[in-house]
Amino acid sequence: MNATQHVTTFGQSLWLDNLSRSLIRDGTLAKLIAEDGVSGVTSNPSIFQNALAGSPYYADDLARLKTAESDAELRYEALMIPDVQAACDLLLPVYEASGGNDGYVSLEVAPRWAYDAARTVAEAQRLAARVDRRNLLIKVPGTPEGVSAFEALTTLGVNVNVTLLFSVAQTQAAFDAYIRGLAARSHAGADIRRSKAVASLFLSRVDTLVDIRLAEIGTQEALSLRGKAAVAMAKLAYQRYLGTFRGAAFTALAQQGATPQYLLWASSGVKNPDYHDLLYVEPLIGRETINTLPDKTLAALRDHGRPAARVEEGVAEAEAQLSELARLGIDMENVGNRLQVDGVKLFEASYQKLLQQTG
């Protein structure tokens, strides 16, 4: 058993934060599933932009689509949806063995609808129908409008990955929306046993912004907190998860067979080269969680990871660290709100470049 397989014994799933036709056709994804215990895949516009630029397997289809399809967005979907379907098919045995609890592939609604709940619902339904796989998650942003759409989609039976969460409050809003959506679906007499959702809390971007502010303060006390905000935030978010889905608010739904909305650690590759390359992995291993890893971080975990169940450790220390940040004038909810706005802009920029590449 290697380190990646060992992680799964603690109740955490490892998903690959990457998808391309090369990974599928060269057998790399199948190997990661078989040898490393990878049990899911996440994608976003930046990932597909890199896939289209770096894989040789799109050229023939793209040349054909340029003459057959005039709409750039439909060309993009015609290129990427087969990759999503192929990944879903590779992961279907994981999905079936887990009783529908694992083995998912995520596909994102176009970022320009991040502040339009009704259009997000419509696009999510359209994409889910086009992919037509049981183990698909539609990615919806954790903006207020996106959370509203998520609640509606849960009621409709569309499974969702709520993405671009950067704070405990944003994460709790997603949890609450999931419970409301499940309750409405149950009240309508629909089956909630196959409903699935995850909440993707982004980590490295939080430290990047907080570290800049700590450096501006410049005191020894401030500098000692660099690289600690994101893990502390994640540990407290996990406590919220336990309180929400192991508490009274979820009891009736759990009795009907509903599953909790697992926390997914996103943006788990370090951006500061001075930090340990598993900073957002090793401290956050624990039951009923997911970590979606870029290729480089997955390789690091395989090479020198030391897995242990640590997500429930150091909670008091995490609370103290966030309290100290607040005392220094760093409001983590303000940080999260800014990063969410910036995240939507970054994904929209990548999406537009992606459409240009298909033109």
Catalytic residue list:
139
- Among 118, 110, 176, smallest CA distance to 138 is for 110
For the CA atoms of 302, 305, 310, 315, what is the dihedral angle to 10 degrees?
A: -120
- Among 230, 231, 250, smallest CA distance to 241 is for 250
Contact criterion met (CB below 8 Å) for 30 and 86: no
Spatial neighbors of 255 by CB under 8 A, at least 6 apart, are none
* CA–CA dist 259, 262 (Å, integer): 9
DSSP 312: T
H or E element in which residue 40 lies? strand 38-41
Cα end-to-end distance, the chain, whole Å: 46
Contact criterion met (CB below 8 Å) for 181 and 150: yes
DSSP codes, 124-170? HHHHHHHH--TTEEEEEE-SHHHHHHHHHHHHHT--EEEEEE-SHHH
H or E element in which residue 106 lies? strand 104-108
* CA–CA dist 346, 269 (Å, integer): 17
Contact criterion met (CB below 8 Å) for 268 and 281: yes
